[in-house]
Amino acid sequence: MLEFTRISPCDFERYNKYRAQDPTNASEGVFMTMFIWNEYYNLSLAENGEFLFIRFDIKGKEPSYFFPIGKGDIKKALDELSAYAKMRGERLNLRLVSRENMQKLKEVYADRFSYKESRDSYDYIYLTEKMISLSGKKLHAKRNHLNYFLENYEYEYMNVSDESLLKECAQKADEWVNAKEKNKNSFETGAMQTYFRHFFSFNQTGAVIKINGEIVAMSFGERLNEDTALIQIELANENYRGAYQAINKLFCENEWKNFKYVNREEDMGIEGLRRAKESYQPEFLVEKYFIREEK
């Protein structure tokens, strides 16, 4: 029987070992994404030698699981997971399942599961070259904002490579997020601070733009797979016109230009965030589904 233990920083290498066998375009493909939201998800892990299993215990919701990560007999792995859930008096729920893995389920189990799209969790994928150039008619307005910033401010682009600058970023991020009433979310604030605490341990990449010695924009991310980078945090001072467009361009240009795509994560169903992500003209979306065992 599977034995689940609470996720910890020590699981970084274990997660990466299984994920290397089973790469994905989804933002959950990196350990950091899972780990920083642990306060909300209450994650625990188990393994059977071929697959890594992740359990979600979100307060007020039925327990659920990530699709098994690894290589091997997927039917055997899912049967094992289903048996574990039933042993606990639960029904097997799978969250954040990709379209490809959903098809695997349909092929193996026919009508054993029900399927529901999780549109709020779809990741937005962009061509890196487009994020750097902002070329094309549909990105004309963003290109104007970018040009204004580049032409009117004396700025400095800096890679985050020391604890001092990282601490400065953490303080500024907390200040900006909590200054907006609509963004006062304890889980979001906690996730960001967890990210900064583990930045160097989990091989992250970050950069800031400074004007007159003060941070006006920042962006953080990491390699997701061979051709895709993941942007996990992007913040800017909106009093500087074009600051968001500038950090987007410069971060991609300096850190991710050798990657074909950039994953800028989901919109969480927030209307304004969805409009913003759609306005950058994504190349495609990574679809995700909630799947429930019915039989």
- Contact (CB, 8 A) for 9 and 208: no
Is there a single domain that holds both residue 140 and residue 76? no
The 3-class secondary structure across 220-256, one letter per residue, is EEEEEECCEEEEEEEEECCCCCCHHHHHHHHHHHHHC
Is there a single domain that holds both residue 52 and residue 118? yes
Is there a single domain that holds both residue 57 and residue 131? no
Look up the pTM and report it: 0.94
Measured CA to CA in angstroms, residue 129 lies from 55, 135, 198, 252 at distances of 37, 9, 29, 8
Residue written as token pair 């341990």:
201
Query: Per residue of the chain (295 residues), what is the pLDDT tens digit?
Result: 899 999 999 999 999 999 999 999 999 999 999 999 998 999 999 999 999 999 999 999 999 999 999 999 999 999 999 999 999 999 999 999 999 999 999 999 988 999 999 999 999 999 999 999 999 999 999 999 999 999 999 999 999 999 999 999 999 998 988 777 555 566 778 899 999 999 999 999 999 999 999 999 999 999 999 999 999 999 999 999 999 999 999 999 999 999 999 999 999 999 999 999 999 999 999 999 999 999 7
pLDDT digits (tens, 9 = 90+) for 187-222: 778 899 999 999 999 999 999 999 999 999 999 999
Say what the pLDDT of residue 185 is. Answer: 60
Is there a single domain that holds both residue 84 and residue 208? no
Say what the pLDDT of residue 55 is. Answer: 98
Give the integer Cα–Cα distance in Å for 170 and 18. 31
Is there a single domain that holds both residue 105 and residue 155? no
Give the integer Cα–Cα distance in Å for 177 and 82. 40
For residue 144, the enclosing domain spans: 123-265
Question: Is 253 contained in some domain?
Answer: yes
Structure tokens at 75: 């039917």
Read off the CATH number of the domain in which 163 is found.
3.40.630.30
Is there a single domain that holds both residue 37 and residue 107? yes
